Amino acid sequence: MSYKDVLVHADHAEGTLHPDFSGLLAAARKIGRPVAVVAASAEHLDNLVEQVKRHPVESLCAVETPAGEQLITSELAALTAALDRLVDGDAEKVGAVLLSSGIKCRELAGRLAVRRNMGLIIDAVGLDLVDGAVIVQQSVLGGQYSVASGVNHGAPVICLRPDSVSADVNSPETVVGCMVTRMGIAVPSDADAVVLSTSEHRVLDGRPELNSAPIVIGGGRGLNSAENFGLVQDLADLMGAAVGASRAAVDAGFCDRSLQVGETGQIIEPELYIAVGISGAIQHRVGMQNAKKIIAINTDANAPIFDIADLGIVGDAFTVVPQLMEALRDRAGATS
Amino acid sequence: MKIAVLIKQVPDTASPRSVDPDTLRITRDPAEAVIDEISERALEKALQLRTEHGGEVVVVSMGPDKAVASLRHGLALGADRGVHLNDDSFAGADLVWTATLLAAGLSTIDSVDLILAGNASTDGRGGAVPAMLAELLQMAQATSLQAFDVVDGVLTGERILEDGVQKIQATLPVVVSVTENIAEPRFPGFKGIMTAKRKKILTLDATSLATVGEVDPSGRLVGANVVRSVIENPARSSGEKFVDDGLSGQRISDYLKAEGLV
Ligand SMILES: Cc1cc2nc3c(=O)[nH]c(=O)nc-3n(C[C@H](O)[C@H](O)[C@H](O)COP(=O)(O)OP(=O)(O)OC[C@H]3O[C@@H](n4cnc5c(N)ncnc54)[C@H](O)[C@@H]3O)c2cc1C
């Protein structure tokens, strides 16, 4: 069985490599030989090459994109050029193209699949190589089902969920040299929007990202106000956790919409999810019921969230959460 | 302004949903089929734009016979006419094939200024189809917008990403996808429901789409997704539940310790 090249997209924000990259590399190594591709303007490219080289990858294609504010077509052209270079007339050489599951990455993946007539699988949670074919695991309908699928021809373009592959156990500790190939592309002529300005990272406040954090504290409408929602943030900070929220909490303006967990928000699978003042509507559960452990704090003993909680506390968040924080501080104090 | 709005009929998120063990697809029954809420929001925005700029709103849906109900719903809310892509061969279409068929359907509508869609459907959740339509139709994409305006043929909007908001601009025609906070959908009134009955829905099947010349009949075969297996995961059960007695904080802390979570 031959091992094929797997093109791994190294996403970045303004020159900082996205943390999902190491998980993508690990997943790629399970199904082939990872070849990274990074696309950036001249301003950031050298720096990104250095960042990529710190990861265990033997080959990197660094594509310089023309200056300009195109929303997506420059990066798409860069990705396409790197793929074409790898294929080099023999589609059999490439086993898959791997991207993260962010909003832009899905769009890049979709357009690349259309452009190069490839199959597309989004929201993968695992990858395997079975008899030379790439098999993709997905978790559908909020984790009710695990689906394994592949494409019937050629190499698939795959978007992998960031929490699905953690440590790169199989990878060599250090790679003896990464071969860097540099390329440039012309300004694409495709119709595109332009980005006028970007405002960044207004919500995380130094907390881990919702979609990959091992612990998530979710706050709901039961918290009553944006001010009280601070209770959830305080607990998250104490535990080094990410903050999530129900749609009702988001709609009420307690927190930013990007923190929404559920059917129309993010689907997460942390080690631990603590639901505070969340009733557990089915559309919320879809987003968090695959957490390894769930703790619920709710005043209503009949709230449906208790049906899926490993530990349920029928009580007022405004008394229980401060108690919990105190107990955690005591514990930390006792052990240090 | 001519606006096409993509409407998707989906199993109601509030009722139990399942995967059919034979077809390996999401069961369309018994879960009640409803118009996806995000489609309603996109349509609402389209109707607001029509009020502002004049023009026409066309609702477009791909789906089986019963998807007509969702198109009628869109007409009752105020859309002017409908286009229904319906053919047995469309069932179970994967992302690439869905985008290809929708693009073919959309290109039967002359001089569209805006194509509006939800950012992701509740049953598929791919979130890639609007961008794929932009690729196929060679239009600019203005996706994941939480707000936008159109002035003198130029769209300006706020694109929301995981880690920030981009202010973007594009010249029409544009494929737009909207997020949940774009608009609150209206409810159909009696008059709307009555007039909807007289509005036209054009049905396009595989042959009529193929004659448009946009669909490569072999396209479906190349790179199509093939489901190998579906495993139903055991339902989650609940653990212990305690009424707060003043010791809950300690109880949770002990639990976290026992599970190795702190
Ligand atoms: C198409 C569609 C998509 C949707 N997508 C999502 C989604 O992605 N995510 C999502 O979350 N929802 C989604 N919803 C909405 C969902 O149906 C619920 O409305 C929502 O999840 C409710 O949020 P909540 O639990 O915070 O609010 P509520 O249901 O109002 O629950 C508040 C809870 O707080 C408890 N409470 C009150 N006071 C206290 C206190 N002092 N201490 C402790 N507990 C207290 C109450 O007992 C209650 O159980 C969607 C709905 C639709 C139709």
pLDDT of residue B123: 86
Q: Is A318 touching ligand 1 by the criterion CB < 6 Å? A: yes
- The partner residue sitting opposite A323, judged by closest CB among B99, B136, B248, is B248
Ligand 1 atom index nearest CA of A248: 23
Query: A215-335: same fold as A4-184?
Result: yes
Task: Give the C-alpha separation, A53 to B20, whole Å.
Answer: 46
Percent of chain B with pLDDT over 90: 72
Task: Give the C-alpha separation, B142 to A210, whole Å.
Answer: 25
Asked if A257 and B160 come within 8 Å (Cβ–Cβ), the reply is: yes
**Min CA distance, B16 vs chain A (Å)?**
9
- Whether the per-residue pLDDT at B216 is higher than 60: the answer is no
Q: What is the pLDDT along chain A (336 residues), one digit of tens a residue?
A: 568 999 999 999 889 999 899 999 999 999 999 999 999 999 999 999 999 999 999 999 999 999 889 999 999 999 999 999 999 988 889 999 999 999 999 999 999 999 998 999 999 999 999 998 999 999 888 888 999 999 988 899 999 998 776 545 555 555 668 999 999 999 999 999 999 999 875 566 788 989 889 999 999 999 999 999 999 999 999 999 999 999 999 999 999 988 999 999 999 999 999 999 999 999 999 999 999 999 999 999 999 999 999 999 999 999 999 999 999 999 888 765
- The partner residue sitting opposite B95, judged by closest CB among A110, A145, A295, is A110
- The partner residue sitting opposite B164, judged by closest CB among A199, A294, A319, is A199
Task: Give the C-alpha separation, A51 to A55, whole Å.
Answer: 8
Q: Which of B8, B9, B13 to mutate to test the pocket of ligand 1 (most atoms within 8 A of CB)?
A: B13
Compute, in degrees rounded to 10, the torsion defined by CA atoms B41, B45, B48, B52: 180
Q: What does the pLDDT average to over B157-185? A: 95
pLDDT of residue A166: 59
Mutation target vs B (from A75, A105, A111, A293; most B CBs, 10 A cutoff): A111
**Min CA distance, A101 vs chain B (Å)?**
9
Q: What does the pLDDT average to over B101-122? A: 95
Q: What does the pLDDT average to over B106-118? A: 96
Ligand 1 centre distance from Cα of residue A278 (Å) = 5
Q: Is A59 touching ligand 1 by the criterion CB < 6 Å? A: no
pLDDT of residue B219: 47
Mutation target vs A (from B236, B237, B254, B257; most A CBs, 10 A cutoff): B236
pLDDT of residue B213: 40
Question: Looking at the predicted complex, does its ipTM rise above 0.95?
Answer: no
3-state secondary structure of A294: strand
- The confidence band for B190, taking pLDDT boundaries of 50, 70 and 90, is very high
Q: Is A262 touching ligand 1 by the criterion CB < 6 Å? A: yes
pLDDT of residue A265: 93
pLDDT of residue B235: 86
Tens digit of pLDDT for each residue in B10-46? 999 888 888 887 878 888 765 689 999 999 999 999 9
Q: Is A228 touching ligand 1 by the criterion CB < 6 Å? A: no
Which residues in A lie closer than 8 A to residue B168 (C-beta atoms)? 71, 193-196
Cα angle at A257 between A234 and A277, to 5 degrees? Answer: 50
Q: What does the pLDDT average to over B82-108? A: 92
Asked if A331 and B253 come within 8 Å (Cβ–Cβ), the reply is: yes
Decide if A38 contacts A45 (C-beta within 8 A): yes
Asked if A141 and B252 come within 8 Å (Cβ–Cβ), the reply is: no
Task: Give the C-alpha separation, A8 to A16, whole Å.
Answer: 16
Please tell me if residue B129 touches chain A, with a CB cutoff of 8 Å: yes
Task: Give the C-alpha separation, B23 to B64, whole Å.
Answer: 15
Which residues in A lie closer than 8 A to residue B258 (C-beta atoms)? none
DSSP β-ladder status, B114-118 and B174-178: parallel
Task: Give the C-alpha separation, B216 to B178, whole Å.
Answer: 29
Mutation target vs A (from B248, B250, B254, B255; most A CBs, 10 A cutoff): B248
- The confidence band for B236, taking pLDDT boundaries of 50, 70 and 90, is confident
First to last CA, chain A: 53
pLDDT of residue A141: 84
- The partner residue sitting opposite A146, judged by closest CB among B156, B233, B253, is B233
Q: What kind of architecture, by CATH, is found in domain A215-335?
A: 3-Layer(aba) Sandwich (3.40)
Give φ, ψ of B212 to 5 degrees.
-65, -20
- The confidence band for B9, taking pLDDT boundaries of 50, 70 and 90, is very high
Asked if B94 and A119 come within 8 Å (Cβ–Cβ), the reply is: yes
Q: What kind of architecture, by CATH, is found in domain B2-210?
A: 3-Layer(aba) Sandwich (3.40)
Asked if A314 and B244 come within 8 Å (Cβ–Cβ), the reply is: yes
Domain residue extents for chain A? 4-184, 215-335
Q: What does the pLDDT average to over B234-247? A: 93
Q: What kind of architecture, by CATH, is found in domain A4-184?
A: 3-Layer(aba) Sandwich (3.40)
Name the closest residue on chain B to residue A305, using Cα atoms.
B238
pLDDT of residue B257: 95
> What pTM was estimated for this model as a whole?
0.94
pLDDT of residue B215: 46
Specify burial of residue B188 (Cβ count, 10 A radius: 0-12, 13-18, 19+): middle
Residue of A213, A285, A266, A256 lying closest to A101 (CA atoms): A266
Give φ, ψ of A85 to 5 degrees.
-65, -40
Asked if B221 and A199 come within 8 Å (Cβ–Cβ), the reply is: no
3-state secondary structure of B207: helix
Give φ, ψ of A140 to 5 degrees.
-115, 160
Mean pLDDT score of chain B, rounded to an integer?
91
- The confidence band for B90, taking pLDDT boundaries of 50, 70 and 90, is confident
| Amino acid present at A186 | A
